[in-house]
Amino acid sequence: MIQVKRPSPPTKLKQEGIDEKNLAIEHFEVLNNPKKFEFNVYSRGYIKTALWTMFNNKCAYCESFLPHIEHPHIEHWRPKGKVTEDSDHKGYYWLAADWDNLLLSCGVCNSSYKLNKFPLKVGSKHARLSNDDIYKLEVPLLINPCTDDPELHLNFTCNGKITGVTDEGNKSIEVYGLDREHLEDRRRFTANSIICSRLKDILEDIDEFQSQPAKLMRRIDKKIEELNSFLSPKAEYSAMANCIVREYRRSYNTNRFFLEVTKELVEDSIKKA
């Protein structure tokens, strides 16, 4: 998971979202209607297109590419229909078409793991009505990639394993299923076969640098260029790639040459973010 800057909402959503929000509030709060309410606006094609672009064709949670495996899901960070942790909760119906509540997700993260879960830190409680102040009432225990920096909560190893470094990180791994077996296998392949392999090659090249400096610098430059492509926000599992590069730089912090030639990798990742 990486931090993603949310752009302005699609123009059409502004009015359509307000209209549906008012209808939902009337349905649930004014009429107290027990019948199911049909949410339609969030699934509009223009919203899916905007989210597709915003998340670079990747799941907001696990960073897996979506086009070649499945149709993306439009995910409600705060669930629209009900809340697992509060059996009497009717869901955040007033946020069903709220741009800030919509993410792009793969089917596994959304339908097999996240579902209607929305855990909070101890001491806070779920907002239940449209006029409740969610920011005063709620302290979510989940990472939101558009408002939080996942790098502060999650860590990756060179074997593709993910660990939480905060309560939010640990709960997000659990709720989003970020440590599931097949996902870990994919990350392990990327980490071992590409990221770590290129970094090890650079270290070996540095050891040989004295004999053929010009030739080896060309090789190093090529590997840096390759690594940059995997650190891009558009790349699959870019959070892991960035984490591994930083860990290598910490592990080889006495190798001044290695720190110098890989400096642009961490500098570029900051600029891209």
Task: Say if residue 114's pLDDT is above 60.
Answer: yes
262: Cβ–Cβ under 8 A, 6 or more apart, which residues?
Answer: 199, 202, 224, 245, 248, 249
Question: Which of 106, 186, 105, 190 is CA-nearest to residue 144?
Answer: 105
Dihedral-angle region of residue 32 (phi above 0 means left; psi in -120 to 50 means alpha; beta otherwise): left
What token pair was written down for 130? 């449209």
Measured CA angle at 70 (ends 98, 241), to 5 deg: 85
pLDDT reported for residue 1: 95
Measured distance CA(83)–CA(212) in Å, rounded:
63
Give the amino acid at 161: K
Q: What is the dihedral of CA 172, 236, 60, 175, to 10 degrees?
A: -20
Torsion over CA: 181, 187, 188, 189 (sign): positive
Q: What is the pLDDT of residues 227-237, one digit of tens each?
A: 999 999 999 99
Q: What is the pLDDT of residues 170-195, one digit of tens each?
A: 999 999 999 999 999 999 999 988 89
Kindly calculate the radius of gyration of the chain based on its CA atoms and give it in whole angstroms. Answer: 22
Q: What is the pLDDT of residues 134-178, one digit of tens each?
A: 999 999 999 999 999 999 999 999 899 999 999 999 999 999 999
Q: Are 205 and 219 in contact (CB under 8 A)?
A: yes
pLDDT reported for residue 142: 98
Task: Say if residue 269's pLDDT is above 60.
Answer: no
- Fill in the DSSP letter of residue 41: G
Task: Say if residue 74's pLDDT is above 70.
Answer: yes
- Fill in the DSSP letter of residue 165: S
Measured distance CA(1)–CA(59) in Å, rounded:
8
